[in-house]
Chains A and B, each alone.
Chain A
Amino acid sequence: QSVLTQPPSVSEAPGQRVTISCSGSSSNIGAGYHVHWYQQLPGTAPKLVIYDNTNRPSGVSDRFSGSRSGTSASLAITGLQAEDEADYYCQSYDSTLTGGVIFGGGTKLTVL
């Protein structure tokens, strides 16, 4: 059971927009801790696509964007392409947990 809750799966057609939610609580996202997002293509290591809630690392497509509000965060992908089909994970920090680093359970994005 992850401290950060993500939908197990989302799907959308090519060219469309999809959002993936990451729901937390007052001891993590709601406390102001940053949220980071990772993309994991099949059989590969995760890759950072959004950091500190809204920032894109160099080289990541501007079709990816992030937001945070209250105790939740979201990752949005516009102009969906087949290559976006992957698992996506949110990550943050929880002040009540030993060590504190937490991941969401992951969301499988299917491009129809």
Chain B
Amino acid sequence: QVQLVQSGAEVKQPGSSLKVSCKTSGGTFGSSAITWVRQRPGQGLEWMGTILPDFATANYAQRFQGRVTLTADESGKTVSMGLHSLTSDDTALYFCAGGRGAGFRTPLDPWGQGTRVTVSS
């Protein structure tokens, strides 16, 4: 059974950068896409981007283009989400999710536990 474990909560200053990691276990790393979704306080789910199993191809939501980067460490079986130029609007719960398949449109299953990020001066 594939499991995703995310790094711990972060408090960041406005204008700084963030890196959240997502470590996979129990499955074959590189067999499915990994997607990042965020949820701002009291709001719904917001897709940020997806990286394919080749770890060379990624798609990002328009609103995050140029500000978010997904990377993979195959030896560590970890995918990371980097987000820079943080503002208070980036305060949210960030989730990684595995895909049931390898493509961008794959349903998301399973999910990591979430990483709470607070951006405040």
Q: Which residues of A contact B (CB under 8 A)?
A: 2, 33-34, 36, 38, 40, 45-48, 51-52, 57, 87, 89, 91, 93, 97-106
Contact partner of B61 (CB less than 8 A), chosen from A40, A48, A91, A98, is A98
Distance, CA A91 to CA B49, complexed state (A): 14
Cβ contact of B100, chosen from A33, A45, A51, cutoff 8 A? A51
B62 touches A33 (CB 8 A): no
Interchain CB contact under 8 A, A101 and B60:
no
CB of B55 within 8 Å of the partner chain: no
Does residue B104 face the partner (Cβ distance < 8 Å to A)? Answer: yes
* Stretch binding the partner chain, chosen from B9-17, B23-31, B75-83, B105-113: B105-113
Given contacts A57-B109, A99-B104, 11 further A-B contacts (CB under 8 A): A36-B107, A45-B95, A46-B108, A48-B100, A48-B107, A51-B100, A99-B50, A101-B35, A101-B50, A102-B47, A106-B45
Complex contacts, B46 vs chain A, CB 8 Å:
103
Contact B44 A89 (CB under 8 A): yes
Closest-by-CB residue of A relative to B47 is: A101
Contacts of B45 in A (CB 8 A): 38, 40, 46, 89, 91, 103, 106
Known: A45-B114, A106-B45. A101 touches B107 (CB 8 A): no
Nearest A residue (CB) for B93 = A45
Q: What separation, in Å, do the CA atoms of A2 and B47 have in the docked complex? A: 11
Chain B residues lying within 8 Å of A103, measured Cβ to Cβ, are 37, 44-47
| Cβ-based interface call for B88 (8 A) | no
A98 touches B60 (CB 8 A): yes
Tell whether B120 is near chain A: CB-to-CB under 8 Å. Answer: no
Q: What residues of chain A lie closer than 8 Å to B62, measured between beta carbons?
A: 97-99
Looking at A38, A89, A93, the one whose CB has the most chain B CB atoms below 10 A away is A38
Q: Are A48 and B65 in contact (CB under 8 A)?
A: no
22 contacts between A and B (CB under 8 A): A34-B105, A34-B107, A45-B111, A45-B112, A45-B113, A45-B114, A46-B45, A46-B108, A48-B107, A48-B108, A48-B109, A51-B100, A91-B107, A93-B104, A98-B61, A98-B65, A99-B47, A99-B104, A101-B104, A101-B105, A102-B47, A103-B37
